[in-house]
Amino acid sequence: MTVDTMLVVALGVVTGAAISAVKWSDTRFNKDEVENNERGYAPDRPLPQKEGVLIPDTDAPHTQLGLRSGRRGRYRQAREFDKDGKPLRDINFTDHSRPHEHTKPHQHPREENPTGGTRTREAGEPLPGWQYE
Task: Average the pLDDT over 3-18 and give the result.
Answer: 31
Q: pLDDT tens digit string along 12-55?
A: 333 333 332 333 344 444 555 545 544 567 888 999 999 888 99
Distance between CA 128 and CA 121 in Å, rounded?
A: 17
CA distance 79 to 62: 8
pLDDT of the residue at 48: 93
Q: What pLDDT shows up at residue 66?
A: 93
| Mean local confidence (pLDDT), 71-78 | 89
Task: Calculate the CA dihedral of residues 72, 73, 74, 76 and round it to 10 degrees.
Answer: -40
Rounded CA gap, 106 and 128, in Å?
9
Partners of 22 in beta bridges: 13
Residue 77 phi, psi (nearest 5): -145, 150
